[in-house]
Amino acid sequence: MEALFISTGVVALAEIGDKTQLLAFILAARFKKPLPIILGILCATLVNHGLAGALGAWITSVVSPEVMRWVLGLSFLGMAIWTLIPDKIEEEETQVAKHLGVFGATLITFFLAEMGDKTQIATVALAARYESTVAVVAGTTFGMMLANVPAVLFGERIARKVPLKLVHGIAAAMFALLGIGTLLGAGASFGF
């Protein structure tokens, strides 16, 4: 359960103000059809984070626990810093799949925007950190939906009221705590 809750919380906070959340705002404003946008985000996230979780699980099978502890600890600290840097959306990402309908456009643009994004990298690291890849992918997907469904449904009203610096600071602190805990040996029962 810890993997599910940590993954959900970290990704939900990290996603606020992220480029994929900005993309959700743009798609909602452009198409004004929330259900296919939400379903596209869900499917894209499941595939993207499923692949990221599988990569994280594979990494733990080929890297020694001592090396993994340092890689994960430093990765979480790097994620803490990266979370404090605001994202910008590139216009090409919103134009990639313009002719595929609302669901198709959302699926493709969201999947592509999530490639190499901090929440995808966090999914790799969390899957490497915890034994349950399924719980991590479920948690990171749920966290993405927690952040993006309101963005699709309520858009601008939320964006004006959410203090992004505070949210990014909390997410950065969570990543930092995960990093420090991992470096200090927390999770030794998992082999790290």
The whole-number pLDDT of residue 159 equals: 57
Structure tokens at 141: 């997907």
For CA atoms 5, 170, 44, 74, the dihedral sign is negative
The whole-number pLDDT of residue 81 equals: 80
The whole-number pLDDT of residue 168 equals: 67
Neighbour tally for 11: CB within 10 Å: 30
Structure tokens at 148: 């993006």
Are 181 and 74 in contact by the 8 Å Cβ rule? The answer is no
pTM reported for the whole predicted model: 0.73
Q: How far is CA 108 from CA 68, 81, 142, 188, in A?
A: 32, 28, 19, 39
Q: 33 in the Ramachandran plot: left (φ > 0), alpha (ψ -120 to 50) or beta?
A: beta
The whole-number pLDDT of residue 40 equals: 96
The whole-number pLDDT of residue 46 equals: 97
pLDDT in tens, the chain (192 residues): 899 999 999 899 888 777 788 788 878 877 888 999 999 999 999 999 999 999 989 988 888 878 777 877 787 788 778 767 765 555 554 555 556 788 998 998 889 888 878 888 889 989 988 889 999 999 999 999 999 999 899 876 665 666 667 766 776 787 788 778 877 876 554 444
Q: Considering only CA atoms, which of 76, 107, 89 is closest in space to residue 14? A: 76
The whole-number pLDDT of residue 83 equals: 66
